[in-house]
Chains A and B, each alone.
Chain A
Amino acid sequence: MAKINGAVTVNTERCKGCNLCVVACPSGVLDLKKNEVNNRGYHYAYMANPDKCIGCSSCALVCPDACIEVYRVVEK
Chain B
Amino acid sequence: MELNDIIRPENRVYKRPSLLNEAHMHYCPGCSHGVVHKLVAEVIEEMGLQEVAIGVSPVGCAVFAYNYIDIDWLEAAHGRAPAMATATKRLMPDKLVFTYQGDGDLSAIGTAETIHAANRGENITIIFINNAIYGMTGGQMAPTTLLGQKTATCPYGRRADLNGYPLAISNLLAQLDGTCYVTRQTVYSPAAVRKTKAALKKAFQNSMDGKGCSVVEVVSTCNTGWKLTPVKANEWLQENMFAKYPLGDLKNE
**How many whole Å from B115's CB to the nearest CB in chain A?**
30
Which residues of chain A from 5 to 36 have a CB within 8 Å of any chain B CB?
5-7, 9, 11, 14, 16-20, 23-24
Is B246 interfacial (CB-CB < 8 Å)? no
Interface centre among A5, A16, A20, A57 (most CB of B within 10 A): A20
Pairwise interchain contact A5-B32, C-beta atoms closer than 8 A:
no
**How many whole Å from A23's CB to the nearest CB in chain B?**
5
Taken residue by residue from 41 to 63, chain A's Cβ proximity to chain B (1 for < 8 Å, 0 otherwise) reads as 01000000010000111101111
Cα–Cα distance between A66 and B15 once the two chains are bound (Å): 8
Contact of A55 among B3, B13, B188 (CB under 8 A): B13
With a CB–CB cut-off of 8 A, which chain B residues contact A24? Answer: 189-190
With a CB–CB cut-off of 8 A, which chain B residues contact A19? Answer: 30, 229-231
Pairwise interchain contact A71-B189, C-beta atoms closer than 8 A:
no
Which residues of chain B from 58 to 92 have a CB within 8 Å of any chain A CB?
none
Which residues of chain B from 1 to 16 have a CB within 8 Å of any chain A CB?
1, 3, 5-8, 11-16
Binds A, one of B19-27, B46-54, B100-108: B19-27
Contact of A72 among B11, B16, B194, B231 (CB under 8 A): B11
Is B176 interfacial (CB-CB < 8 Å)? no
Contact residues on B (Cβ < 8 Å of other chain), bracket: 35 or more
Interface centre among B8, B29, B234 (most CB of A within 10 A): B29
Pairwise interchain contact A18-B29, C-beta atoms closer than 8 A:
yes
With a CB–CB cut-off of 8 A, which chain B residues contact A42? Answer: 29
Contact residues on A (Cβ < 8 Å of other chain), bracket: 20 to 34
Cα–Cα distance between A11 and B25 once the two chains are bound (Å): 14
With a CB–CB cut-off of 8 A, which chain B residues contact A20? Answer: 30, 230-231, 234
Is B157 interfacial (CB-CB < 8 Å)? no
Pairwise interchain contact B14-A60, C-beta atoms closer than 8 A:
yes
Pairwise interchain contact B13-A70, C-beta atoms closer than 8 A:
yes
Is B166 interfacial (CB-CB < 8 Å)? no
Contact of A64 among B5, B13, B35, B231 (CB under 8 A): B35
Pairwise interchain contact A73-B16, C-beta atoms closer than 8 A:
no
Pairwise interchain contact A71-B7, C-beta atoms closer than 8 A:
yes
Contact of B35 among A5, A6, A62, A71 (CB under 8 A): A62
**How many whole Å from B102's CB to the nearest CB in chain A?**
15
**How many whole Å from A60's CB to the nearest CB in chain B?**
4
Cα–Cα distance between A72 and B34 once the two chains are bound (Å): 24
Is B33 interfacial (CB-CB < 8 Å)? yes
Cα–Cα distance between A57 and B31 once the two chains are bound (Å): 19
Residues of A within 8 A of B (CB): 5-7, 9, 11, 14, 16-20, 23-24, 42, 50, 55-58, 60-73, 75
15 contacts between A and B (CB under 8 A): A6-B6, A16-B28, A56-B190, A57-B14, A60-B14, A62-B35, A62-B187, A63-B35, A64-B29, A64-B31, A65-B34, A66-B17, A67-B16, A70-B13, A73-B6
